[in-house]
Amino acid sequence: MSIFEWFFERNNPGPTGTVETYHHKLYWPRIWILIAGTAALMAFLFFIYCVPLNHLETFEIGNACLGILFSIAYLVTSYYIYVKPDYNNMGFLGFIDNPFKYTDDVNRFMLFFQALLLPGKIISIPIVNMFSLLFTARKSNN
């Protein structure tokens, strides 16, 4: 943060986005939830299977377990955390830094964090909704 940003926005900062926890419920037909969930689960398992094969000569079971745990933690984080930046305060033309505001830096960082979590959302949301659908169908059959 530069001295100009601190001086001009010290008393009246601009709007910034929000970070929320959110449970993503898909309102799709059941067959599409099953198809999307199966495809996302297969993509995740393919990723888990292929990552250790790239480093087969240095493969250790501890590193593989650590990679799987970090992948699952990333999916859980990206499922529950919803970052929503304020798109009206992103700097000049949406990407050029405004030297007199620090809140546009915060919003651009939130946009970066939102993009970082997007692949995890694409994988985790269909998987969780598929398991939710399967477990509620199983409970209703009993």
In this predicted model, what pLDDT tens digit does every residue of 79-102 receive, in sequence order? 999 999 887 877 777 667 776 677
- Pick the closest to residue 23 from 135, 129, 134, 115 (CA basis): 129
Per the structure, how many domains does the chain have?
Answer: 1
* DSSP at 87: T
> Could you tell me if 82 and 21 are in contact, meaning their C-beta atoms sit under 8 angstroms apart?
yes
pTM of the predicted protein model: 0.74
Side-chain-side CA neighbours of residue 103 (13 Å): 17
The confidence score (pLDDT) of residue 22 equals: 76
CA 123-51-119 angle, 5° bins: 20
Q: 44: domain range?
A: 3-141
Q: What is the 3-state secondary structure (H, E, C) of 18-85?
A: EEEECCCCCCCCHHHHHHHHHHHHHHHHHHHHHHHHHCHHHCCHHHHHHHHHHHHHHHHHHHHEEEEC
The confidence score (pLDDT) of residue 32 equals: 93
Q: How confident is the prediction along the chain (142 residues), in pLDDT tens digits per residue?
A: 556 555 566 666 677 777 888 777 778 888 999 999 999 999 998 888 776 655 555 556 666 777 788 889 999 999 999 999 887 877 777 667 776 677 788 888 888 999 999 999 999 999 999 998 888 866 666 5
